Amino acid sequence: MKKQILDLTVRAVERLSEKHVLIRLTDEQPLPEMVPGQFVEVRVDGSTSTFLRRPISINMVNREKNELWLMVAMVGDGTRKLGQLQPGDKLNCLLPLGNGFTLQDGRTALNTESADLTKHSSPLLVGGGVGVAPLLYLGAEMKRMGMEPTFLLGGRTKNDLLELDLFNRYGRVCVTTEDGSMGEKGFVTNHSVLGESFDMICTCGPTPMMKAVARYAKQRGIYCEVSLENMMACGLGACLCCVEKTVDGNLCVCKDGPVFPISKLTWE
């Protein structure tokens, strides 16, 4: 997929919680092809401290409305600036970047075990915090292809559980919160739905959560892909600041990932 630099137009900025916004972007031209799991490097204009672009996952692509959605957690100067965007503003985006989860035509070059996730009928998509962002588009695409995803989403409190109404459109939604304010109390890896049988798992979120999900999948022999969120700068495989040790040597998460089958990682 050809990478492009586009000045996209902000159509709306919606507050999802105290710390999170949903930015809906559009363009006069049809948006480029993008697959779930890929990301965008956004340029943060008007900041005296944010020099590098910031990587943000593709949350949803709405072809009918020609919209690209980005869910942003405002954690520092750059993302806070993104949260201040107004309808009509331009956002300079480098996209689409990375490989994405493996869907039917084996777009993930690294994935040799299962080039077709649609062969799996009962996928489990596990997300924590803002790591849920790429799972919405993934679940929507799976549903479009006739699969029935189950989402398992976790947060510290109910305020961290975002877009639940949208996730509900594409599959069954199970939630956990650490304080018990919504769903089952605890971590996603304690949820009772894990007693059911799934034939593949995709996960994105904090690294300890993804490692626990990967352990669960490995113990049960379930095929699993994880989307890593290593620190990034160029997003293009040039600066090497995002490398991850894998069974094939050090790979760039921005170019060779961010999605990896767990068998490629050197995680315990």
Ligand X SMILES: Cc1cc2nc3c(=O)[nH]c(=O)nc-3n(C[C@H](O)[C@H](O)[C@H](O)COP(=O)(O)OP(=O)(O)OC[C@H]3O[C@@H](n4cnc5c(N)ncnc54)[C@H](O)[C@@H]3O)c2cc1C
**Residues in the site for ligand FES, rule: CB under 6 A?**
232-235, 237-242, 252, 254
Give the footprint of ligand X on residues 242-261 (CB under 6 A): 258
Regarding 102 and contact with ligand X (CB under 6 A), the answer is no
Q: How far is the CB of 78 from ligand X (least distance, A)?
A: 3
**Taking CB positions, which residue lies at the least distance from ligand X?**
76
Regarding 108 and contact with ligand X (CB under 6 A), the answer is no
Question: Pick from 71, 162, 201, 210: which binds ligand X (CB under 6 A)?
Answer: 71
3-state SS string for the chain: CCCEEEEEEEEEEEECCCCEEEEEEECCCCCCCCCCCCEEEECCCCCCCCCCCEEEECCEEECCCCEEEEEEECCCHHHHHHHCCCCCCEEEEEEEECCCCCCCCCCCCCCCCCCCHHHCCCEEEEEEHHHHHHHHHHHHHHHHCCCCCEEEEEECCHHHCCCHHHHHHHCEEEEEECCCCCCEECCHHHCHHHHCCCCEEEEECCHHHHHHHHHHHHHHCCEEEEECCCCCCCCCCCCCCCEEEECCEEEECCCCCCEEEHHHECCC
Regarding 225 and contact with ligand X (CB under 6 A), the answer is no
Regarding 177 and contact with ligand X (CB under 6 A), the answer is no
Q: How far is the CB of 230 from ligand FES (least distance, A)?
A: 8
Regarding 76 and contact with ligand X (CB under 6 A), the answer is yes
Interaction pattern, residues 125-164, with ligand X; x per rule: CB under 6 A: -----x--x-------------------------------
β-sheet bridge partners, residue 223:
200
Q: Between the CA of residue 114 and those of 75, 104, 105, 110, what are the distances in Å?
A: 36, 10, 10, 10
Q: How far is the CB of 246 from ligand FES (least distance, A)?
A: 14
171 contacts 146 by C-beta, under 8 angstroms:
no
Region binding ligand X by CB under 6 A among candidate stretches 4-12, 54-62, 115-123, 139-147: 54-62
Question: Pick from 8, 22, 35, 72: which binds ligand X (CB under 6 A)?
Answer: 72
Of the pair 12, 193, the CB lying nearest ligand X is at 12
Name the residue type at position 206: P
Tokens of 194: 């894990």
Question: Pick from 36, 55, 205, 261: which binds ligand X (CB under 6 A)?
Answer: 55
The item of ligand FES, ligand X, none sharing an interface with residue 239, based on CB under 5 to 8 Å by kind, is ligand FES
Regarding 232 and contact with ligand X (CB under 6 A), the answer is yes
Question: Pick from 231, 247, 249, 268: which binds ligand X (CB under 6 A)?
Answer: 231
Give the footprint of ligand X on residues 2-41 (CB under 6 A): 39
